[in-house]
Structure 1
Amino acid sequence: MNESKMSIYHEIHRLHRLGFNKSQIERKTGVNRDTVRKYLNMDFDEMVHWTHSLQNRKKKLDDYETIIVEWLKEHSDLSASQVEDWLLEEYPGIEVGSSTVRSYVTNLRDRYALPKQRQARQYEAIPEVGMGEQIQVDRGETWQETVTNEKVKLYFICFVLGHSRYKYVEWLDRPFRTKDAIRCHEQAFRFFGDMTKEIMYDQDNIIAVNENAGDLLLTQAFQSYQQARGFEVYLCRAADPETKGKVERVVGYVKTNFAKNRCYNGLDEWNEKCRAWLDRTGNHKVHGTTKKRPDSVFLLEKAHLKPVSPLKNKEISFDASITAKIGKDNTF
C-alpha cells in the first residue's frame, strides 16, 4: 500500500516538473485533484514520514486480527464476504464496510502467508423479471461437520423473488418429500407476505416425477396444491441454462456464504442461524448484479405480490400422480 502511494507521489511530481497542471495530472494518473494538491505540497521527507505513520496506525479490525487469522488458517477457502458475515454474527455491534474487510483480509493473507484456495467462477446470462411476477425455487444439499467432529448431510430449499432477489431458505436433516415442499411454500409465502403470479422450478423429482415426449408426470399432491393456490408453474428444461442460472446462483450462495465451514449443532439452531444470516447478509448485502440491497427493493416489490388466502386441507389431495402437459414455453 505504501509502495503504491510513493510511486504515485513520484509520478505526480515528475509530471509537474514536465509542466503539466493539476487538472492534467489528475486525468493522467486517475488520482483526484485534492490528492494531487496534497502530494505536490509535500517534500520527499514529509511523504516518507506520512507513509510510515500510516503503516503503524491502528486499523479498525486490529482488535479482531487473532480470530480472523484463526478462521483463515482453519479454512483456506474462506472468502472475505464470509469473514464479514462471521464478524457480524459474533460481534453484532461491529460497524465495518465490505471494502475494509476485503482489504484487511488480503493484508492478513499476505502477512501470514495464507493463500486462498480459488474456485473458477461461472457466468450466467440471467433474464430479469418484473415486480411480483415470479418466485424461483430450487433445492440443494451440503455435508457439514458437527460439534462432535462427525459429518452430516443436510438438505435445503430456496425461494427467491425474481425481481428483488429477496430470499427465503429452509433446511431439513433428511431428503425433502412433496409434503415438505408444500409446507415450505406456505412458510415462504408468510415470509414474503404474499406470493407471485408464477413460480419457476428446476426439474425436481418431488414436483415432476417423469418426462416422456413432452408430458410431465406430476405428483397429485403438488398439482392439487398448485390449483388450490392458483399460481402458474414454469418448469425449466434441462437445456435451459440462461433461465436456471438465477435459481442455481442462490443455491450456490447459500452453500458458499452461509453453510461452508459452519459447524452444525442441530436442525432448529441451524435454521435459526440461517434466518439471521438472511437478515444481515443474504437479503441485506448489495446484490452483485442489481447493485441494490434485496431487502430495500423488496419493500417496493411487496406491493405487487398476489394476496394469499387461507388454505383448507381438503383442497389438497395426496394421491399418487397425474399427467399434465407442459407447453414449449415451459408452462402448464
Structure 2
Amino acid sequence: MEKLLLYVEVHQLKKQGFKIAAIAKKLDISRNTVYKYLNMDLEEASDWITSLGSRRKKLDLYHDQILSWLKEHPDLSSAQIEDWLKERYPTLEVSGGTVRSYVSEMRDIHHIPKVIRVRTHEAVEELPMGQQVQVDWGEITVKDSENKNKKLYFITFVLSHSRYKYVEWMDRPFTTRDTIRCHEKAFQFFGGMPEEIVYDQDHLITVSENAGDIILTSEFQAYKQERRFRIYLCRKADPQSKGKVENVVKFVKRNFAKNRVFVDLEAWNEKCLAWLERTGNHNVHHTTKKRPVEVFALEKQHLQPVSPMLSSKSPLESSISRTVHKDNIIKYKSNRYSLPLGTYRPRGENTVYVEVQEEELIIRREPQGEVLARHKLCHGKGELIKNRQHTRDRSKGIQAYKETVIRQFQDQKKAEKFLHEVGCRYPRYIRDQLQVIQHAITHFRLEIDNALAVCIQDQMWSANDLRDIAQHLTRLKETETPNPASIQKSKNINPAIKTTTVTREIDDYIKILGGVL
C-alpha cells in the first residue's frame, strides 16, 4: 500500500509542474525511482506491487538469523552481516548491494535504526607499488565464552598501494619485542618488505621526534639497522598521514571483532586470518574499486626480499626497555620494582633495560652495562618490590649528612657552596640529592673534585649533573691512560742488542770548544 501511495504522489507532483530532481528530493527517493513510477500506468503499478508481496528474495531463508543479529546488535553494518553469513554459510553467493538493500528494508520494517557517523577526509595521491606500508595499533573489549569483558590488542599492517592487510592479536598490551616479532611475521606474510614504513608517535618505537631528528627506542633502532627500512613518523594530531591504516583499524574492529565471542587467543588469530582471506583482502575496496588480493599479486613483485625471520635469540631481544618514574621505580608486568635513589634524572635520559634470568629481574642502565638493581621476579599484580638499600638513609639528620658529604671534598668551601645552591633548588629532595652525591664520591672519587669545580664554574646546581660530569671525566681518563702492558713491553730491552759508547780524546773537545790547554 505504501508503494501505491508513493506512485500516486509522484504523478500528482508531476502534474503540479515539479521537476524530476525536485520530486526525488521532496519524497526522499532516487530519481531513477521517480522515472520508474512515471513510466507506469495505474494498472501496471498495481500488478507490480502485488507481485512484490509474493516474490521470494534470496536472503529470505536467512531472515530470522539476520533479524536476531540486528536485535542483539543494532549497530551491525550490512558489510559485517555479509561476512557473518559467508562465514556460517560458505556456499552462499550474494552481492554486497543485495545485503545492504535487504538489511535496510528489515531495519525499516522492524524499526531498528542505525547511527551513522560521518568523518571528513582529504584525497591523497596513490603511491607506487612496494613503496610503503602503514602500521598502527588498536584495542577493543569483547565478550568471552562466559559473557565477561575481555580486552584485546592488535597491530595492523596495510600496503598503501594494494590495501593488502595483515593483522595480529594479543591478550595483553604490546611491547617493543612483540612489535618487532609482528613486523617479521608481516614481512613473511607479504613475502617481502617495502621501502618505507609509516608509524604514529607510539612509545613502543619512538622516544621523541626532536624537531625532525627521530629518536627511536634502542631495541627498535637496532631492528631498523638490521632490516634497513626507512621510517616516516606522523606528526601529532595528523591522522590523514596514515589514513589508510586508520581505516583498517576501524574495519577490523567493526567488521571482524565487534560482537564476536572470544574463546582463546590462538583460535581468535586463526579466525582473523580466515577473515582476511574471506573479507579483508578479498572484498572490493571502495576507493580503488579493486580487490586487494588481486592488486597484491602485482605489488608483491616490487617488495624487497627479506631473509628468514630473526632468531628469537637475537641480541635485539636480550633486554626490554622501561622508563624510570620520578619515584625511582619501573613497572614490569603489572608490578613496581625499586631502583637506587637518584636513578631518575629530571632533565636526563630515564630509560633502563630489564632482563629476566630464571626467577630474577635484572635492571641495567645500558643493555650490557652496570647492574642497577636485582629483584626476585614477582608473579602477582599490583605489588611493590623494594630493596631496603634503595631507601633513604634516615640514620642521621640532614645537617649531619651535609657535613659528612662536605668533609669528603678537598675544597670544602666549594663543596659547602655547592650544597647550599642544591638545597635552595631542591628543598624537598635534599636527602635524595645528598644520596646521589655520596654515590658519585664513592664511585668516582679521583675525579669528584674536578667535577665539583666544573659544576660551580658552569653553575650547574644538581647532584645528577655532578655525578654525570664525574663519570664523564673518569671515562676520559681511562681512555687517555696508556696500556700498562705496552709500557712494560717498552721497558724490556732485548738483551741480544748491545750498545757501545763512543769516546773521544781530550784534544778533540778542546778544539770544539775553541780553547787551549
Given the two structures, how large is their TM-score scaled by the length of structure 2?
A: 0.54
2:264 to 263, 266, 273: 266
- The whole-number CA distance in structure 2 between the counterparts of 1:299 and 1:256 is 27
Which residue in the other structure is 1:66 paired with?
64
One-letter amino acid matched to 1:236: C
Partner Cα distance (1:131, 1:74) in 2: 42
Q: Any idea what the Cα deviations from partners look like across 1:36-65, whole Å, max 9, x if unmatched?
A: 7x986x753243123211232010000000
Moved more, 246-255 or 129-138: 246-255
The alpha-carbon deviation at position 243 of structure 1 amounts to: 0.7
Q: Does 1:187 align with 2:201?
A: no
**Superposed CA offset, 1:244-301 (max 9, x none):** 2222121111111111111111111111111111111111111122122111111111
1:131 aligned residue (129, 132, 147): 129
In the alignment, which residue of structure 2 is the partner of 1:328?
none
Secondary structure, in 3 states, of the residue corresponding to 1:317? helix
Structure 2 residues not aligned, in runs of 5+: 16-29, 322-348, 350-517
User: Is the Cα–Cα contact under 8 Å of residues 221 and 316 in structure 1 kept in the other structure?
Assistant: no
The one of 163, 170, 179 equivalent to 1:172 is: 170
Determine whether 1:317 maps to 2:316. yes
Offset at 1:122?
Answer: 1.2
CA–CA separation in structure 1 for the residues paired with 2:133 and 2:283:
20
- 1:120 correspondence with 2:126: no
- Does the 8 Å CA contact 2:4/2:45 hold for their aligned counterparts? no
Please state whether the residue corresponding to 2:286 is helix, strand or coil: coil
**In structure 2, what is the Cα distance between the partners aligned to 1:140 and 1:281?**
19
**How do residues 217-236 of structure 1 correspond to structure 2 at under 5 angstroms?**
217-236=215-234
Cα shift at 1:204: 1.2
Aligned equivalents of 1:298 and 1:4: distance in 2?
50
Q: Identify if the C-alpha distance between structure 1 residues 39 and 249 changes in structure 2 by more than 3 Å, giving closer, same or farther.
A: closer
Aligned to 1:18: none
Q: Report the 3-state secondary structure (helix = DSSP H, G, I; strand = E; otherwise coil) of the residue aligned with 2:85.
A: helix
Q: Is 2:225 the partner of 1:209? A: no
Could you tell me how far 1:109 is from its partner in structure 2?
A: 0.9
**Structure-2 separation of matches of 1:178 and 1:269:** 24
Number of positions where the alignment pairs a residue of Structure 1 with one of Structure 2: 304
TM-superposed CA distance for 1:242, in Å, is 2.4
Taking a change above 3 Å as real, the CA distance of residues 303 and 3 of structure 1, as seen in their structure-2 partners, is farther
Aligned residues of 1:225 and 1:315 also touching (Cα < 8 A)? no
The answer (yes or no) to whether the contact 1:158–1:167 under 8 Å persists in 2 is yes
- Once the two structures are superposed, the pairs formed by residues 1-332 of structure 1 within 5 Å of their partners are 2-3=3-4, 6=7, 10=11, 44-116=42-114, 118-127=115-124, 128-313=126-311, 316-318=315-317
- Any idea what the Cα deviations from partners look like across 1:199-238, whole Å, max 9, x if unmatched? 1111111111344455444222211211111211111111
Give 1:312 deviation, angstroms: 4.9
Q: Deviations over 1:122-169 (max 9, x none)?
A: 132253211100011000010011110100110000000010110000
User: Any idea what SS the aligned residue of 2:307 has?
Assistant: coil
What is the one-letter code of the residue matched to 2:42?
A: F
1-side partners of 2:159 and 2:276: how far apart? 14
**Does the CA contact (< 8 Å) of 1:126 and 1:246 recur in 2?**
no
Amino acid at match of 2:196: E
Give the RMSD, CA atoms, in angstroms.
2.8
Task: Give, as a single letter, the amino acid of the residue that structure 2 aligns with 1:52.
Answer: T
Q: How much does 1:119 deviate? A: 3.8
Helix, strand or coil at the partner of 1:155:
strand
Which letter maps to 2:282? H
Where 2:162 maps in the other structure, the secondary structure is: coil
Q: What's the CA shift for 1:121?
A: 2.2
The alignment partner of 1:61 has SS state of helix
Paired AA for residue 246 in structure 2? E
Distance 1:205 1:83 in 2: 36
Runs of 4+ in structure 1 over 6 Å off:
none
1:279 maps to a residue whose letter is: E
Which residue identity is paired with 1:317?
L
C-alpha separation between the residues in 2 aligned to 1:311 and 1:272? 20
Going from structure 1 to structure 2, the CA distance change for 1:43 and 1:91 (only over 3 Å counts) comes to same
Preserved contact between residue 207 and residue 222 of structure 1 (Cα < 8 Å): yes
SS in 1 for 2:142: strand
How big is the shift at 1:10?
4.9
Distance 1:262 1:3, change over 3 A: farther
d(CA) in 1 for partners of 2:44 and 2:237? 63
Q: 1:152 to 1:312 in 2, by over 3 A?
A: closer
Q: How far is 1:5 from its partner?
A: 8.2
CA contact under 8 A between 2:184 and 2:310: conserved in structure 1?
no
Amino acid at match of 1:240: D
Q: Deviations over 1:161-191 (max 9, x none)?
A: 0101100000000011111111111111111
SS in 2 for 1:130: coil
Asked if 2 retains the 8 angstrom alpha-carbon contact of 1:138 and 1:251, the reply is yes
For residues 235 and 273 of structure 2, the distance between their equivalents in structure 1, rounded to whole angstroms, comes to 31
Contact in 2 for aligned 1:2/1:55 (Cα 8 Å):
no
What is the DSSP-based 3-state SS (H/G/I as helix, E as strand, rest coil) of the residue aligned with 2:65?
A: helix
- d(CA) in 1 for partners of 2:145, 2:59: 28
Show structure 1 runs of 5+ residues with no match.
15-28, 324-332
Identity %: 54
TM-score (norm 1): 0.83
SS at the partner of 1:111? helix
Distance in 2, Cα, partners of 1:255 & 1:311: 28
Query: Partner residue of 1:330?
Result: none
